[in-house]
Homo-oligomer: A and B are copies of this chain.
Amino acid sequence: MQCEIIAVGSELLLGQLVDTNSTWISKQLAAAGIESYFQTRVDDHLDRIAQVLRTALSRSDAVIVCGGLGPTQDDISREAIAQIMAVPLLPDPVIAARIQELFRSRGRRMPENNLRQAEVPQGATVMPQMPGTAPGLICPLQGKVIYAVPGVPWEMRKMVAGTVIPDLRCRAGTPMTIKSRTLKTWGASESRVAELLSDRVNELAAKGNPKLAFQASGIEGIKVRVTAMGAEEVAVDRLLREEESHLRGILGDLVFAADDETMESIIIELLREKGFSLGVAESLTGGMVGARLTAVPGASDVFRGAVVAYASDIKYALLGVPEGPVVSESTAKAMAQGVRKVLQADIGLATTGVAGPSGQEGQPIGRVYLGLAISGKSEAHQLYLPGERQQIRQFSVISLLNILRKQLLNMV
């Protein structure tokens, strides 16, 4: 089973948008064991879309067309697919009703244009997932298949994960199971992680299964991915479990999460487990720590809130920081203690530092102090972070959360 991806959109060809959709889809195909050797991008032009579809169908068993399913005149993937299938586009009353209902539920009038999205090539099936107004299509064609999904990432992802991949696996008919497990680490460089695991990498290379791969992921840390395959799902799961426990033995508390877990979901879990509540005082991060923690459903059980004390006088007045330079160890500590009290939390965290565009109080861009306060005790960590404004802010957030994580792990 070979499947290729076609991304449709003039903005891709003009360099105005990076094609991350194809990257995401190809990762899913690889994980599902489906071969994929070609990707194409083409502009919003009927003949050219049809032309690349023909080329793709001549060499692959399945084609995923991403984009061009919107309501406007330049959304013509539906037309191109109908042309290739040599069938008419027919209005689907069920889809039309769903689109109308979607607008009604939001209290908005539906423009006539949107009914174009309810047109389906004769013989095509509509995917069950429909998070937006664009239906996904399964279009059979001489023993092969074209999947059409919208270019809006979160809509596309639901359809690819929910329909396209299962359908492809079913068509492939091979009972091979490929699964992977990703361990996320923070606190060591990629080469250090590779060094720690080099013996294990060699052992596994000799065995052939499972396989290890490293990936540096910026503010998501260094990831170690274990991929195992086999005929029996139970055996594959066991291989993964055993390898994970082996790797965790070597990497210790560098590993902060696995797969869909994030630093923030782990923090919320640990806080809940230990029965602590948390408050945060943010300066250079401006709300990012709170934003990340509250991305976790159920964060309200343990997260009390945050004070974004961007102006210095708010640090003094609201958090009780003694007046003076604010980019300092003592300010980080005082902010963490202050926010604990103001928000009546068991634990207080704090960030203060220089994100740029210019230095501050004689401190260089990238100088950051992170504070942690638990009951009467407080500590501060000094960092010097590379990069630009947004990167310094993001690294500050995850570094702070990692300090809290290690603290919580060490508490009974």
Contacts and interface: CB of A to CB of B under 8 A. Distances in A.
Contact of A287 (B36, B39, B42, B287): B287
A55 interface: yes
Nearest to A42: B38
A13 B41 contact: no
Interface string A289-308: 11101110111100111111
Interface string A6-46: 00011111111111101111111110000011111111110
Nearest to A298: B357
Tally of this chain's copies:
2
A311 B345 CA distance: 11
A38 B52 contact: yes
A152 to B, nearest CB: 6
A190 B26 contact: no
Classify the secondary structure of A's interface with B: mixed
A43 B26 CA distance: 12
A54 B223 CA distance: 31
Contacts of A214: 70, 72, 74
A314 interface: yes
Given A23-B18, A41-B38, A311-B300, A295 B286 contact: yes
Contacts of A344: 313
Contact of A55 (B10, B55, B111, B282): B55
Nearest to A134: B216
Contacts of A74: 213-214
Interface stretch (A139-147, A243-251, A387-395): A387-395
Interface stretch (A86-94, A191-199, A401-409): A191-199
A313 B344 CA distance: 10
Interface of A: 9-20, 22-30, 36-45, 48, 51-52, 55, 59, 70-74, 102, 105-108, 110-114, 131, 152-154, 180, 182, 189-192, 194-195, 201, 213-216, 218, 225, 227, 280, 282, 284-291, 293-295, 297-300, 303-311, 313-314, 318, 342-344, 356-357, 384, 386-387, 389-391, 393
Given A14-B27, A287-B308, 14 more contacts: A9-B215, A11-B213, A14-B26, A15-B29, A55-B55, A74-B214, A152-B218, A286-B295, A290-B308, A291-B291, A294-B310, A298-B357, A305-B314, A306-B306
6 contacts: A15-B23, A15-B27, A111-B191, A286-B303, A287-B288, A303-B311
